[in-house]
């Protein structure tokens, strides 16, 4: 019985893969003597970006690290 369940599981998984896996795109066949030409690039297709340099760079002041102070142990008293 477990063999039948395993076979059904394999069939279901393979069916899902076949349904949702991206298919290969069809390639176009050019006629003899035909060539592909790229589309002309228009001037408005790429916007121009202007970057202005910073006049003043921000400065960061580093704070000194605090050294951890050793914990003081309480003196044991015998009553």
Query: What's the pLDDT score for residue 42?
Result: 66
pLDDT (tens digit, 9 = 90+) per residue, 34-51? 787 877 766 665 667 787
Q: Write out pLDDT tens, residues 7-33.
A: 999 999 998 888 887 777 777 777 787
pLDDT at 10: 96
The model's pTM is 0.30
CA dist list (Å): 8 to 12, 15, 38, 51: 6, 10, 50, 61
């Amino acid at each position: 019985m477990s063999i039948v369940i395993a076979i059904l599981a394999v069939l279901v998984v393979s069916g899902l893969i076949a349904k949702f896996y991206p298919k290969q795109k069809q390639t176009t066949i050019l006629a003899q003597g035909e060539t592909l030409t790229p589309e002309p690039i228009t001037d408005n297709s790429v916007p121009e970006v202007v970057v202005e340099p910073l006049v003043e760079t921000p400065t960061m002041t580093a704070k000194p690290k605090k050294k951890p102070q050793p914990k003081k142990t309480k003196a044991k008293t015998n009553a």
